Structure 1
Amino acid sequence: MTSTEQLTGERTDLLQALRGHRGFLLQTVDGLTDEQAASRPTVSELCLGGLIKHVSVVEHRWMLFAVGGAEAMGREEIDWVGQFQMLPGETLAGLVGRFQEVAAQTDELVATLDLDAAHPLPQAPWFEPGASWTVRRVLLHLIAETAQHAGHADILRESIDGAKTMG
Protein backbone atom coordinates (compact mmCIF):
# COMPACT_ATOMS: atom_id res chain seq x y z
CA MET A 1 0.00 0.00 0.00
CA THR A 2 1.40 3.41 -0.97
CA SER A 3 1.33 6.37 1.36
CA THR A 4 -1.44 7.99 -0.71
CA GLU A 5 -3.74 5.02 -0.13
CA GLN A 6 -3.55 5.64 3.62
CA LEU A 7 -4.61 9.29 3.50
CA THR A 8 -7.71 10.60 5.19
CA GLY A 9 -9.46 13.92 5.61
CA GLU A 10 -8.37 17.01 3.73
CA ARG A 11 -5.54 15.34 1.83
CA THR A 12 -7.92 12.68 0.55
CA ASP A 13 -10.44 15.32 -0.52
CA LEU A 14 -7.80 17.35 -2.36
CA LEU A 15 -6.40 14.31 -4.14
CA GLN A 16 -9.82 12.95 -5.07
CA ALA A 17 -10.77 16.28 -6.64
CA LEU A 18 -7.48 16.52 -8.54
CA ARG A 19 -7.66 12.89 -9.67
CA GLY A 20 -11.24 13.35 -10.86
CA HIS A 21 -10.31 16.27 -13.11
CA ARG A 22 -7.19 14.47 -14.33
CA GLY A 23 -9.46 11.57 -15.28
CA PHE A 24 -11.78 13.84 -17.28
CA LEU A 25 -8.76 15.29 -19.09
CA LEU A 26 -7.34 11.86 -19.91
CA GLN A 27 -10.75 10.68 -21.10
CA THR A 28 -10.69 13.37 -23.78
CA VAL A 29 -7.72 11.77 -25.53
CA ASP A 30 -8.81 8.15 -25.17
CA GLY A 31 -8.65 6.37 -28.53
CA LEU A 32 -7.16 9.27 -30.49
CA THR A 33 -4.30 9.07 -32.94
CA ASP A 34 -1.26 11.32 -32.64
CA GLU A 35 -2.55 13.30 -35.61
CA GLN A 36 -5.94 13.87 -33.96
CA ALA A 37 -4.30 14.85 -30.67
CA ALA A 38 -2.09 17.37 -32.48
CA SER A 39 -4.92 18.85 -34.54
CA ARG A 40 -6.45 22.23 -33.80
CA PRO A 41 -10.13 21.66 -34.67
CA THR A 42 -11.36 25.05 -33.45
CA VAL A 43 -10.29 28.66 -33.95
CA SER A 44 -8.17 28.25 -30.84
CA GLU A 45 -4.45 27.45 -30.99
CA LEU A 46 -5.08 24.60 -28.52
CA CYS A 47 -4.74 20.92 -29.28
CA LEU A 48 -5.49 17.97 -27.01
CA GLY A 49 -1.89 16.74 -26.86
CA GLY A 50 -0.76 20.25 -26.02
CA LEU A 51 -3.28 20.50 -23.19
CA ILE A 52 -2.05 17.21 -21.71
CA LYS A 53 1.52 18.51 -21.96
CA HIS A 54 0.63 21.91 -20.49
CA VAL A 55 -1.17 20.44 -17.48
CA SER A 56 1.84 18.16 -16.86
CA VAL A 57 4.23 21.10 -17.03
CA VAL A 58 2.07 23.25 -14.76
CA GLU A 59 1.57 20.52 -12.17
CA HIS A 60 5.28 19.64 -12.15
CA ARG A 61 6.33 23.28 -11.76
CA TRP A 62 3.84 24.02 -8.99
CA MET A 63 4.96 20.98 -7.05
CA LEU A 64 8.55 22.20 -7.39
CA PHE A 65 7.25 25.42 -5.84
CA ALA A 66 5.42 23.51 -3.08
CA VAL A 67 8.65 21.78 -2.12
CA GLY A 68 11.22 24.54 -2.64
CA GLY A 69 9.52 27.83 -3.44
CA ALA A 70 9.88 30.13 -6.42
CA GLU A 71 13.60 29.45 -6.70
CA ALA A 72 12.99 25.73 -7.23
CA MET A 73 10.22 26.46 -9.70
CA GLY A 74 12.44 28.81 -11.68
CA ARG A 75 15.34 26.36 -12.04
CA GLU A 76 13.65 24.68 -14.97
CA GLU A 77 13.17 26.55 -18.23
CA ILE A 78 9.67 26.72 -19.64
CA ASP A 79 8.69 26.85 -23.29
CA TRP A 80 5.72 29.21 -23.03
CA VAL A 81 4.51 28.48 -26.57
CA GLY A 82 5.63 24.88 -27.12
CA GLN A 83 4.00 23.64 -23.93
CA PHE A 84 0.61 23.97 -25.65
CA GLN A 85 1.64 22.12 -28.82
CA MET A 86 2.61 18.64 -29.85
CA LEU A 87 6.08 19.21 -31.25
CA PRO A 88 7.73 17.03 -33.91
CA GLY A 89 8.68 13.69 -32.38
CA GLU A 90 6.17 13.92 -29.52
CA THR A 91 3.49 11.26 -29.28
CA LEU A 92 0.23 11.21 -27.42
CA ALA A 93 1.36 8.07 -25.59
CA GLY A 94 4.54 9.82 -24.48
CA LEU A 95 2.65 12.90 -23.30
CA VAL A 96 0.11 10.79 -21.41
CA GLY A 97 2.94 8.78 -19.83
CA ARG A 98 4.61 11.98 -18.60
CA PHE A 99 1.24 13.27 -17.34
CA GLN A 100 0.75 10.07 -15.33
CA GLU A 101 4.31 10.23 -14.00
CA VAL A 102 3.84 13.81 -12.79
CA ALA A 103 0.48 12.90 -11.26
CA ALA A 104 2.03 10.01 -9.31
CA GLN A 105 4.81 12.28 -8.03
CA THR A 106 2.27 14.87 -6.90
CA ASP A 107 0.14 12.25 -5.18
CA GLU A 108 3.17 11.03 -3.22
CA LEU A 109 4.13 14.58 -2.24
CA VAL A 110 0.62 15.36 -1.00
CA ALA A 111 1.03 12.52 1.49
CA THR A 112 4.11 14.13 3.04
CA LEU A 113 4.09 17.90 2.58
CA ASP A 114 2.89 20.30 5.24
CA LEU A 115 -0.23 21.83 3.68
CA ASP A 116 0.31 25.02 5.71
CA ALA A 117 3.90 25.55 4.51
CA ALA A 118 4.04 28.74 2.44
CA HIS A 119 6.45 30.28 -0.05
CA PRO A 120 6.53 33.72 -1.66
CA LEU A 121 5.20 33.59 -5.21
CA PRO A 122 7.55 34.18 -8.13
CA GLN A 123 7.62 37.68 -9.51
CA ALA A 124 5.12 37.90 -12.33
CA PRO A 125 2.59 40.49 -13.47
CA TRP A 126 -0.30 38.14 -12.63
CA PHE A 127 0.71 37.70 -8.96
CA GLU A 128 0.27 40.28 -6.22
CA PRO A 129 3.74 41.55 -5.26
CA GLY A 130 4.94 39.95 -2.04
CA ALA A 131 2.13 37.38 -1.88
CA SER A 132 2.72 33.83 -0.64
CA TRP A 133 0.87 30.60 -1.29
CA THR A 134 0.59 27.60 0.97
CA VAL A 135 0.93 24.07 -0.35
CA ARG A 136 -2.84 23.82 0.15
CA ARG A 137 -3.38 26.86 -2.12
CA VAL A 138 -1.07 25.32 -4.74
CA LEU A 139 -3.19 22.15 -4.74
CA LEU A 140 -6.40 24.17 -5.05
CA HIS A 141 -4.82 25.99 -8.00
CA LEU A 142 -3.89 22.69 -9.64
CA ILE A 143 -7.45 21.43 -9.21
CA ALA A 144 -8.83 24.59 -10.84
CA GLU A 145 -6.24 24.55 -13.64
CA THR A 146 -6.85 20.90 -14.45
CA ALA A 147 -10.64 21.33 -14.38
CA GLN A 148 -10.47 24.37 -16.66
CA HIS A 149 -8.34 22.56 -19.20
CA ALA A 150 -10.48 19.41 -19.02
CA GLY A 151 -13.36 21.62 -20.14
CA HIS A 152 -11.29 23.04 -22.99
CA ALA A 153 -10.29 19.51 -23.95
CA ASP A 154 -13.90 18.34 -23.96
CA ILE A 155 -14.77 21.00 -26.55
CA LEU A 156 -11.76 20.08 -28.67
CA ARG A 157 -12.62 16.37 -28.57
CA GLU A 158 -16.22 17.04 -29.55
CA SER A 159 -14.93 19.13 -32.47
CA ILE A 160 -12.69 16.26 -33.62
CA ASP A 161 -15.15 13.37 -33.65
CA GLY A 162 -18.32 14.34 -31.82
CA ALA A 163 -17.38 12.50 -28.62
CA LYS A 164 -18.66 14.16 -25.47
CA THR A 165 -16.32 13.13 -22.71
CA MET A 166 -17.82 15.12 -19.84
CA GLY A 167 -21.49 15.21 -20.73
Structure 2
Amino acid sequence: MTETSTLSDPATSTPLSGERADILTQLGTVRHFLRFTTHGLTDEQAAASPTPSELCLGGLIKHVTGVERGWVDFIVDGTSAMKDFDDLTAEDFAAREHEFRLLPEETLAGVLAAYDEVARRTDELVATLDLDSAWPLPKAPWFQEGQWSARRVLLHIIAETAQHAGHADIIREAIDGQKTMG
Protein backbone atom coordinates (compact mmCIF):
# COMPACT_ATOMS: atom_id res chain seq x y z
CA MET A 1 0.00 0.00 0.00
CA THR A 2 1.06 3.57 -0.61
CA GLU A 3 1.91 6.09 2.06
CA THR A 4 0.16 9.44 1.75
CA SER A 5 3.46 11.33 1.58
CA THR A 6 4.59 9.42 -1.54
CA LEU A 7 1.47 9.98 -3.61
CA SER A 8 1.88 12.25 -6.58
CA ASP A 9 0.00 13.51 -9.60
CA PRO A 10 0.90 10.99 -12.35
CA ALA A 11 1.04 13.73 -15.00
CA THR A 12 3.33 16.14 -13.15
CA SER A 13 4.93 14.07 -10.36
CA THR A 14 3.79 16.83 -7.99
CA PRO A 15 3.25 15.39 -4.50
CA LEU A 16 -0.39 15.18 -3.47
CA SER A 17 -1.58 15.92 0.03
CA GLY A 18 -4.78 16.46 1.93
CA GLU A 19 -8.07 15.14 0.64
CA ARG A 20 -6.77 13.87 -2.71
CA ALA A 21 -4.00 11.89 -1.06
CA ASP A 22 -6.48 10.51 1.48
CA ILE A 23 -8.87 9.39 -1.27
CA LEU A 24 -6.07 7.72 -3.22
CA THR A 25 -4.68 6.06 -0.10
CA GLN A 26 -8.07 4.64 0.86
CA LEU A 27 -8.77 3.50 -2.71
CA GLY A 28 -5.38 1.80 -2.76
CA THR A 29 -6.05 0.07 0.54
CA VAL A 30 -9.44 -1.39 -0.38
CA ARG A 31 -8.22 -2.40 -3.84
CA HIS A 32 -5.24 -4.17 -2.25
CA PHE A 33 -7.46 -6.23 0.04
CA LEU A 34 -9.79 -7.17 -2.81
CA ARG A 35 -6.92 -8.17 -5.10
CA PHE A 36 -5.14 -10.05 -2.31
CA THR A 37 -8.04 -12.49 -2.02
CA THR A 38 -7.09 -13.86 -5.44
CA HIS A 39 -3.36 -14.27 -4.74
CA GLY A 40 -2.10 -17.67 -5.87
CA LEU A 41 -5.42 -18.92 -7.22
CA THR A 42 -6.01 -20.73 -10.49
CA ASP A 43 -8.64 -19.59 -12.97
CA GLU A 44 -10.80 -22.51 -11.85
CA GLN A 45 -10.59 -21.44 -8.21
CA ALA A 46 -11.32 -17.81 -9.16
CA ALA A 47 -14.45 -19.01 -10.98
CA ALA A 48 -15.63 -21.23 -8.12
CA SER A 49 -18.70 -20.36 -6.05
CA PRO A 50 -18.00 -22.28 -2.81
CA THR A 51 -20.61 -20.47 -0.70
CA PRO A 52 -24.42 -20.55 -0.94
CA SER A 53 -24.24 -17.37 -3.02
CA GLU A 54 -23.35 -17.52 -6.70
CA LEU A 55 -20.50 -15.04 -6.23
CA CYS A 56 -16.97 -15.96 -7.24
CA LEU A 57 -13.71 -14.05 -6.83
CA GLY A 58 -13.18 -13.45 -10.55
CA GLY A 59 -16.74 -12.16 -10.84
CA LEU A 60 -16.32 -9.81 -7.89
CA ILE A 61 -13.20 -8.34 -9.49
CA LYS A 62 -15.13 -7.89 -12.75
CA HIS A 63 -18.05 -6.29 -10.93
CA VAL A 64 -15.90 -3.84 -8.98
CA THR A 65 -14.04 -2.99 -12.20
CA GLY A 66 -17.33 -2.25 -13.95
CA VAL A 67 -18.66 -0.24 -11.03
CA GLU A 68 -15.53 1.89 -10.82
CA ARG A 69 -15.43 2.39 -14.60
CA GLY A 70 -19.11 3.38 -14.69
CA TRP A 71 -18.88 5.83 -11.82
CA VAL A 72 -15.72 7.45 -13.19
CA ASP A 73 -17.51 7.83 -16.52
CA PHE A 74 -20.29 9.54 -14.53
CA ILE A 75 -17.74 11.92 -12.95
CA VAL A 76 -16.39 12.80 -16.40
CA ASP A 77 -19.50 12.68 -18.61
CA GLY A 78 -22.34 13.21 -16.18
CA THR A 79 -25.74 11.61 -16.17
CA SER A 80 -25.45 10.55 -19.82
CA ALA A 81 -22.86 7.97 -18.74
CA MET A 82 -25.54 5.91 -16.98
CA LYS A 83 -28.99 4.81 -18.11
CA ASP A 84 -32.08 5.47 -16.07
CA PHE A 85 -33.43 2.23 -14.60
CA ASP A 86 -36.51 2.32 -16.83
CA ASP A 87 -34.27 2.50 -19.92
CA LEU A 88 -32.31 -0.68 -19.10
CA THR A 89 -32.82 -3.49 -21.61
CA ALA A 90 -32.82 -7.26 -21.28
CA GLU A 91 -29.29 -7.17 -22.69
CA ASP A 92 -28.23 -4.75 -19.93
CA PHE A 93 -29.57 -7.11 -17.26
CA ALA A 94 -27.90 -10.12 -18.93
CA ALA A 95 -24.57 -8.29 -19.03
CA ARG A 96 -24.92 -7.51 -15.34
CA GLU A 97 -25.46 -11.20 -14.59
CA HIS A 98 -22.26 -12.09 -16.47
CA GLU A 99 -20.41 -9.38 -14.56
CA PHE A 100 -20.54 -11.52 -11.41
CA ARG A 101 -19.06 -14.64 -13.01
CA LEU A 102 -15.70 -15.52 -14.49
CA LEU A 103 -16.77 -16.77 -17.90
CA PRO A 104 -15.00 -19.72 -19.59
CA GLU A 105 -13.08 -17.47 -22.00
CA GLU A 106 -11.89 -15.17 -19.20
CA THR A 107 -8.88 -15.51 -16.94
CA LEU A 108 -8.10 -14.19 -13.50
CA ALA A 109 -5.02 -12.46 -14.93
CA GLY A 110 -7.18 -10.77 -17.55
CA VAL A 111 -9.76 -9.44 -15.10
CA LEU A 112 -7.01 -8.24 -12.75
CA ALA A 113 -5.31 -6.42 -15.65
CA ALA A 114 -8.61 -4.74 -16.56
CA TYR A 115 -9.03 -3.71 -12.91
CA ASP A 116 -5.51 -2.23 -12.87
CA GLU A 117 -6.30 -0.22 -16.01
CA VAL A 118 -9.50 1.20 -14.51
CA ALA A 119 -7.71 1.97 -11.23
CA ARG A 120 -4.96 3.84 -13.08
CA ARG A 121 -7.54 5.96 -14.88
CA THR A 122 -9.34 6.75 -11.62
CA ASP A 123 -6.12 7.63 -9.81
CA GLU A 124 -5.06 9.99 -12.60
CA LEU A 125 -8.45 11.68 -12.48
CA VAL A 126 -8.41 12.11 -8.69
CA ALA A 127 -5.18 14.09 -8.96
CA THR A 128 -6.77 16.84 -11.04
CA LEU A 129 -10.56 16.80 -10.96
CA ASP A 130 -12.80 19.32 -9.26
CA LEU A 131 -14.07 17.29 -6.31
CA ASP A 132 -17.09 19.59 -6.00
CA SER A 133 -18.30 19.11 -9.58
CA ALA A 134 -21.66 17.36 -9.49
CA TRP A 135 -24.20 15.71 -11.76
CA PRO A 136 -27.81 14.62 -11.29
CA LEU A 137 -28.10 10.93 -10.50
CA PRO A 138 -29.77 8.65 -13.01
CA LYS A 139 -33.30 7.66 -12.08
CA ALA A 140 -33.26 4.31 -10.27
CA PRO A 141 -35.13 2.76 -7.34
CA TRP A 142 -31.94 2.68 -5.25
CA PHE A 143 -31.15 6.40 -5.61
CA GLN A 144 -32.91 9.32 -4.01
CA GLU A 145 -33.35 12.18 -6.42
CA GLY A 146 -30.53 14.64 -6.34
CA GLN A 147 -26.97 14.90 -7.46
CA TRP A 148 -23.62 13.54 -6.39
CA SER A 149 -20.35 15.40 -6.38
CA ALA A 150 -17.17 13.77 -7.68
CA ARG A 151 -16.12 13.47 -4.02
CA ARG A 152 -19.30 11.55 -3.14
CA VAL A 153 -18.87 9.26 -6.14
CA LEU A 154 -15.30 8.45 -5.06
CA LEU A 155 -16.49 7.70 -1.53
CA HIS A 156 -19.12 5.39 -3.06
CA ILE A 157 -16.41 3.58 -5.07
CA ILE A 158 -14.39 3.11 -1.89
CA ALA A 159 -17.41 1.76 0.02
CA GLU A 160 -18.42 -0.57 -2.82
CA THR A 161 -14.87 -1.94 -3.12
CA ALA A 162 -14.57 -2.44 0.65
CA GLN A 163 -17.92 -4.25 0.80
CA HIS A 164 -16.93 -6.62 -1.99
CA ALA A 165 -13.47 -7.16 -0.47
CA GLY A 166 -15.32 -8.54 2.55
CA HIS A 167 -17.39 -10.81 0.32
CA ALA A 168 -14.20 -11.92 -1.42
CA ASP A 169 -12.51 -12.74 1.90
CA ILE A 170 -15.36 -15.09 2.82
CA ILE A 171 -15.25 -16.77 -0.59
CA ARG A 172 -11.48 -17.20 -0.42
CA GLU A 173 -11.69 -18.75 3.03
CA ALA A 174 -14.29 -21.21 1.69
CA ILE A 175 -11.98 -22.14 -1.20
CA ASP A 176 -8.84 -23.00 0.74
CA GLY A 177 -9.00 -21.58 4.26
CA GLN A 178 -6.82 -18.57 3.36
CA LYS A 179 -7.81 -15.31 5.08
CA THR A 180 -6.97 -11.83 3.88
CA MET A 181 -6.71 -10.39 7.37
CA GLY A 182 -6.06 -12.95 10.03
Task: Give 2:60's aligned amino acid.
Answer: L
Structure 1 residue 89 corresponds to structure 2 residue 105? yes
Give unmatched runs, 5+ long, in structure 2: 1-7, 84-90
Normalised by the length of structure 2, the TM-score is 0.87
1 CA distance for matches of 2:37 and 2:111?
Answer: 13
Q: Which of 119, 134, 139 is 2:154 aligned to? A: 139
Structure 1 residue 161 displacement after superposition:
0.3
Aligned twin of 2:38: 29
Aligned twin of 1:110: 126
2 CA distance for matches of 1:40 and 1:70?
Answer: 34
Structure 1 residue 48 displacement after superposition:
0.2
Q: Which of 3, 17, 23 is 1:8 aligned to? A: 17
With over 3 angstroms needed to count, the CA separation of the structure-2 counterparts of 1:5 and 1:163, relative to structure 1, is: farther
Task: State, as a whole percentage, how many aligned pairs show the same letter.
Answer: 62
Normalised by the length of structure 1, the TM-score is 0.94
With over 3 angstroms needed to count, the CA separation of the structure-2 counterparts of 1:16 and 1:39, relative to structure 1, is: same
Structure 1 residue 6 displacement after superposition:
2.1
What does 1:21-100 align with in structure 2 at a 5 Å threshold? Answer: 21-74=30-83, 78=92, 79-100=95-116
Task: Give 2:50's aligned amino acid.
Answer: P
The alignment partner of 1:133 has SS state of strand
The alignment partner of 1:112 has SS state of coil
Residues 131-156 of structure 1: CA distance to partner in whole angstroms, max 9, x if unpaired?
A: 10000000000010000000000000
Structure 1 residue 20 corresponds to structure 2 residue 35? no
The alignment partner of 1:119 has SS state of strand
1 CA distance for matches of 2:135 and 2:149?
Answer: 7
Aligned twin of 2:137: 121
The alignment partner of 2:104 has SS state of coil
1 CA distance for matches of 2:16 and 2:77?
Answer: 23
2 CA distance for matches of 1:46 and 1:111?
Answer: 33
2 CA distance for matches of 1:97 and 1:6?
Answer: 26
1 CA distance for matches of 2:160 and 2:153?
Answer: 10
Give unmatched runs, 5+ long, in structure 1: none
Structure 1 segments of 4+ aligned residues over 4 angstroms from their partners: none
Structure 1 residue 166 displacement after superposition:
2.1
